[in-house]
Amino acid sequence: MFRKILRQNEAYVFLLILALSIVIGMRNPSFFSFENITGFLKSYSMIGIMSVGTLFVLILGGTDVSFTAIAQVVEYAVVVLIMKFGGNIFVAFFEAAILGIVLGLINGLVIHKFRVPIIIVTIATFNIYFGMLYVITKGKLINNIPQMFKDFGNILLFPQKSAIGGTYGLSLMPLIWLAALILGWIILRKTMIGRGIFAVGGNEIAAERIGIDTFAIKLFVFGFVGFLAGIAGVVHVAIVQSVVPNIIVGKELEVIAAVVIGGASIFGGRGTIFGTFLGVLLFAMLNNGLTLLRISSYWYSVTIGAIILIAITVSAYQRLQRAKTNVKVQIQE
Amino acid sequence: MQEFLRLKSIYKSFEGVRALKDVDFTINKGEIHGLVGENGSGKSTLIKIISGFLQPDSGKIYFEGKEVSHLAAGETTSWGVQVIYQDLSLFPNLTVAENIAYNEMLEKRRPFIDWKEIEHIAKTAMKKIKVDIDLAKLTEELPIGTQQLVAICRALTSDIRLLILDEPTASLTKKDINNLLGVMRDLQSKGISILFVSHKLNEIFDVAENITILRDGSTVGTFPSKSLTNDSLVELMTGKALTQVRHSQAQISSRITLEVRNFSKRYNFKDVSFNLKEGEILGIIGLIGSGRTELACAIYGISPPDSGELVVNGKPARIRSVQDAIAAGIAYVPENRLVEGLMQKQSVMDNLNAAIMKSLSHAGYIPYPKRLNQASLWINDLNIKVSHPMVPVQTLSGGNQQKVVLGKCLATRPKVLILDSPTVGIDIMAKASIHEMIRSLADEGISVILISDEIPEITNNCDRILLMHAGKIRAELDAAKIQPSDLERMMSQF
């Protein structure tokens, strides 16, 4: 049983998180404070929500890079819509979901109908979505966003007074991340659509042969990615409380890296929600830890790169070892 | 016997090319029926029509004696027709249980799944053929023979009445094959009809009661297997009488080109020693899992042995990589030519020249005419059927692809040529021409190691035979003095 756990990628990420938190916590005990933990969970909520979508695409057998552009477009569009026509936060989420799904479905449609690799299509749509945003808005910032976004972003559960006079507590944003994780888990584990995603990622021809509607599966996955990206866009504006039209794009590689660290295979068919959560958590802690240890944030990307490299090397080494001790011939005397 | 399914004068064309012409086919209830024919004879088209994936252009179909006007996709599934394809169509990343239960879960059209139910479906199916596979294992972790059983279990979840097996034994070990043939008989005793497609005629003779032969898209006929012999079946398949000539060993000199001394590699083979003379064809006969391919890979430097020496032309050779082997004059044609031997999407020309790029080039540049001339030389020499040297290799037939691999190796002017199962999955006629080529290469003085598990291929072509089993060489035989039946008996002892 223990060996089986060790063989799974999640175990290594978990141990890494444990080791990292001990190291950071020893150097700066405030790492374990309620204020700090809720803080870094909040700031990584957007990435956490988008990571669930990325996991789905990786299981399906490809890499989507356009979701940050979708989140960016949706964020801008929803803020403008609310400013023009009004509406509460639920209206904002609803608009974000619809717009995100539409942009995601365009990806899915092109990918299935023309059988083009996912990464190629999404590089193209990334540029189209993001480029159109700049064409239309001319890159204008929105600083005076509607108050209700700010109010929503400032809701705190278990509020506490901090020593310097502010308040802190658990924001709703990590809870939306948690909801995305739970939703993702239910879909992957409990529904035929979820199993269909695994099946297509494992062997698409076999999936078609036994009668799985692969088109529907792909549309679902990319619609879901768009949906989550839309939600993530609103979460982002609630956190940063302004709209800068180029701040979400550029995060896509970090999200993909977190999901891959969490054990999802870039060759498709493999990946878990729990691993994805751990991957994002690792990145969040790392970023936060470096700040607490007063190490330049430039080291963040260096560290992330190093972790990815080590993770890939370890799993490749394991595979080589397994191949070597693989009994090809049972030698008889 | 009661008739299950009957097809009468079926015609089918693809874009003007006739695939099936006036094909008749009948399978009875509880019958094992063999379907044989060369590549391109229309076997797969016929299977696709029976399974409802393709519609015939014309012809009549009778199901349990009643005429059906139109076969819709999926309709045959409701009659209990299931196909297991050669590639098995399993999901490597899913568990055994899920693989077995997937079809049935899909048919229930429910949005949510119940893992207990999946396990129950899988267990029930396994009980039907009395196998016991760890349900929690991922299918990719299973040996190919067990994967085959998983595919059969999946077919058994539905109310199955006709099981179509397309080349099910192509990559199985002898033990797994026997096991599979046993399962087929077991299913037959339950009244299930089986359509068995195979290149391996002895297996067809083993289990099938009737054999339908296709040639060039038409039925040659259906015969009780008792009325046919191996030779008469081959003749009906190819339309030509095939006389198998034994290779004469007049040309062999006494010079030793290659000597293998005490080769050992953990989990692969142990203490293997033999020598190879100039112009000799040395057969290594052994089944999958005997260590034959592993031995070849060791000699060729793909996976060097843990210990042992190699002597080439009287000089000790240190071969730790493929480059070393090529420099020593050793060439290897792998068993799985599609994966290991060819760049499928590149041209015949580039594939033929792939191993000699360096010697063709001047300061890294190879003029096109030079590449073309070099390739044309081999295309003529080996009689490769291709419209132009620039067409991609993947468009060629199996036999011609195998010739391209051979040409690529011969371009390096090897002294020793190792051929691993060179005729697996190719037509009888293409097979004969490859055999002929091997013999003429030996006559030119090339030493050949021919690895195979096919007894006639070994006895008809080799001068000397090494019998390999479970990682060691068990016997050395003079090919001229051994009968195929004796070799068969010797092999079955293991």
Give the model confidence (pLDDT) of B362-385 as tens digits. Answer: 888 888 888 898 899 889 888 888
Contact criterion met (CB < 8 Å) for A331 and B294: no
For residues A280 and A288, give the distance between their C-alpha atoms in angstroms, rounded to a whole number. Answer: 12
For the B3-238 domain, the top CATH level (class) is alpha beta
For residues A88 and B29, give the distance between their C-alpha atoms in angstroms, rounded to a whole number. Answer: 68
Report yes or no on A22 lying in a domain: yes
Q: What is the pLDDT of residue B479?
A: 86
Residue with the bigger pLDDT between A121 and A161: it is A121
Q: What is the pLDDT of residue B38?
A: 80
Phi/psi of residue A74, each to 5°? Answer: -65, -45
Q: Give the range among A122-136, A152-166, A205-219, B62-76 with minimum mean pLDDT.
A: B62-76
In the stretch 208-227 of chain A, residues with CB closer than 8 A to chain B read 209-212
Give residue-wise pLDDT tens across range A266-314. Answer: 888 999 999 999 999 999 999 999 999 998 888 888 988 888 888 778 7
For residues B5 and B25, give the distance between their C-alpha atoms in angstroms, rounded to a whole number. Answer: 8
Does the pLDDT at position B339 exceed 70?
A: no
Contact criterion met (CB < 8 Å) for A195 and B113: yes
Q: Is B489 on the interface with A (CB under 8 A)?
A: no
Q: What is the pLDDT of residue B246?
A: 67
Q: Is B232 in contact with B241 (CB distance < 8 Å)?
A: no
Q: Is B267 on the interface with A (CB under 8 A)?
A: yes
Report yes or no on A141 lying in a domain: yes
Give residue-wise pLDDT tens across range B91-145. Answer: 999 999 999 999 999 988 899 999 999 999 999 999 988 888 999 999 988 888 8
Tokens of A70: 């979708």
The nearest CA of chain A is from the CA of B53 a distance in Å of 10
Q: How confident is the model at residue A1 (pLDDT cuts 50, 70, 90)?
A: very low
Give exposure, B69-78, as e/b (b: 16+ Cβ within 10 Å).
eebeeeebbe
What is the model's pTM? 0.82
Q: Give the range among A30-34, A95-99, A315-319 with minimum mean pLDDT.
A: A315-319
Chain B residues with beta carbon closer than 8 angstroms to that of A201: 93
Does the pLDDT at position B355 exceed 60?
A: yes
Q: Are strands B464-469 and B472-478 parallel, antiparallel or unpaired?
A: antiparallel
The chain-wide mean pLDDT, for chain B, equals 87
Distances (CA, A) of B204 to A117, A316, B200, B207, B458: 42, 43, 7, 6, 21
In the stretch 331-350 of chain B, residues with CB closer than 8 A to chain A read none
Beta strands of A117-172 (E only): which ranges?
Answer: 156-161, 167-171
Q: Closest Cα to residue B7, out of B38, B41, B48?
A: B48
Contact criterion met (CB < 8 Å) for A328 and B291: yes
Does the pLDDT at position A316 exceed 90?
A: no
Q: Give the range among A11-25, B320-334, B352-366 with minimum mean pLDDT.
A: B352-366
Contact criterion met (CB < 8 Å) for B471 and A326: no
Contact criterion met (CB < 8 Å) for A206 and B270: no
Report yes or no on A126 lying in a domain: yes
Give residue-wise pLDDT tens across range B5-62. Answer: 999 999 998 877 788 999 999 999 999 999 998 877 888 889 988 888 888 898 988 9
Q: What is the pLDDT of residue B26?
A: 94
Q: Is B138 in contact with B170 (CB distance < 8 Å)?
A: no
Contact criterion met (CB < 8 Å) for B267 and A325: yes
From the list B89, B270, B291, the residue facing A203 with the nearest CB is B89
Give residue-wise pLDDT tens across range A210-252. Answer: 889 999 999 999 999 999 999 999 999 999 999 999 999 999 9
Report yes or no on A165 lying in a domain: no
Q: What is the pLDDT of residue B269?
A: 93
Domain encompassing residue A206: 7-156+170-320
Residue of A nearest to B103 (CA): A210
Q: What is the pLDDT of residue B136?
A: 93
Give exposure, A108-120, as e/b (b: 16+ Cβ within 10 Å).
bebbbeeeeebee
Contact criterion met (CB < 8 Å) for B269 and A331: yes
Contact criterion met (CB < 8 Å) for B91 and A205: no
CB atoms within 10 A of CB A26: 9
A25-40 mean pLDDT: 93
Chain A residues with beta carbon closer than 8 angstroms to that of B85: 209
Which of A18-32, B165-179, B228-242 ranks highest by mean pLDDT? A18-32
Q: Is B411 in contact with B355 (CB distance < 8 Å)?
A: yes
Classified as helix, coil or strand, A210 is coil
Distances (CA, A) of B122 to A206, B90, B117, B151: 18, 14, 9, 11
Q: How confident is the model at residue B247 (pLDDT cuts 50, 70, 90)?
A: low
The nearest CA of chain A is from the CA of B282 a distance in Å of 22
Report yes or no on A164 lying in a domain: no
Q: Give the range among A86-90, B244-248, B476-480 with minimum mean pLDDT.
A: B244-248
Report yes or no on A162 lying in a domain: no
Chain A residues with beta carbon closer than 8 angstroms to that of B290: 329
CA angle, residues B320, B324, B326, in degrees to nearest 5: 135
Report yes or no on A188 lying in a domain: yes
Q: What is the pLDDT of residue A257?
A: 92
Q: What is the pLDDT of residue A266?
A: 84
Give residue-wise pLDDT tens across range B279-302. Answer: 999 999 988 778 998 999 999 999
Contact criterion met (CB < 8 Å) for B111 and A329: no
Domain of A15, CATH number, reads 1.10.3470
Q: Is B360 in contact with B353 (CB distance < 8 Å)?
A: yes
Contact criterion met (CB < 8 Å) for A206 and B91: yes
Contact criterion met (CB < 8 Å) for A269 and B85: no
Each domain of chain B, given as residue ranges in start order, spans 3-238, 256-492
From the list B94, B103, B472, the residue facing A331 with the nearest CB is B472
Task: Fill in the amino acid letter for B244.
Answer: Q
Q: What is the pLDDT of residue A8?
A: 67
Q: How confident is the model at residue A333 (pLDDT cuts 50, 70, 90)?
A: confident
Classified as helix, coil or strand, A169 is strand
For residues B303 and B298, give the distance between their C-alpha atoms in angstroms, rounded to a whole number. Answer: 5
The nearest CA of chain B is from the CA of A19 a distance in Å of 31
Classified as helix, coil or strand, A77 is helix
Q: Judging by beta carbons within 10 Å of its beta carbon (0-12, 13-18, 19+), is residue B275 exposed, middle or buried? A: middle
Does the pLDDT at position A3 exceed 60?
A: no
Q: Is A39 on the interface with B (CB under 8 A)?
A: no
Q: What is the pLDDT of residue A318?
A: 72
Chain B residues with beta carbon closer than 8 angstroms to that of A331: 267-270, 291, 470-472
For residues B307 and B271, give the distance between their C-alpha atoms in angstroms, rounded to a whole number. Answer: 9
Chain A residues with beta carbon closer than 8 angstroms to that of B87: 205-206
From the list B90, B113, B269, the residue facing A190 with the nearest CB is B113
Q: What is the pLDDT of residue B245?
A: 66
B167-187 mean pLDDT: 84
Q: Judging by beta carbons within 10 Å of its beta carbon (0-12, 13-18, 19+), is residue A156 exposed, middle or buried? A: middle
Chain A residues with beta carbon closer than 8 angstroms to that of B470: 329-332
Distances (CA, A) of B447 to A22, A124, B276, B299: 66, 56, 7, 14
Share of chain A above pLDDT 90, in %: 74
Q: How many domains does chain A have?
A: 1
Chain B residues with beta carbon closer than 8 angstroms to that of A266: none
Q: Is B392 on the interface with A (CB under 8 A)?
A: no
Phi/psi of residue B99, each to 5°? Answer: -60, -45
Q: Is B269 on the interface with A (CB under 8 A)?
A: yes
Q: What is the pLDDT of residue B226?
A: 93
Q: Is A266 on the interface with B (CB under 8 A)?
A: no
Domain B256-492 fold: Rossmann fold (3.40.50)
Does the pLDDT at position B235 exceed 50?
A: yes
The chain-wide mean pLDDT, for chain A, equals 91
Pairs of CB atoms within 8 A across A/B = 87
In the stretch 113-172 of chain A, residues with CB closer than 8 A to chain B read none
ipTM: 0.88
Contact criterion met (CB < 8 Å) for A269 and B111: no
Same-fold call for B3-238 versus B256-492: yes
Residue B87 CA, distance from chain mean position = 12
For residues A56 and A268, give the distance between their C-alpha atoms in angstroms, rounded to a whole number. Answer: 9
Give residue-wise pLDDT tens across range B136-166. Answer: 999 988 888 889 999 999 998 888 999 999 8
Q: Is B201 in contact with B177 (CB distance < 8 Å)?
A: no
- At which residue do the structure tokens 């990464």 appear? A119
Q: Give the range among A184-198, A237-251, B390-404 with minimum mean pLDDT.
A: B390-404
From the list B74, B90, B269, the residue facing A206 with the nearest CB is B90
A252-257 mean pLDDT: 93
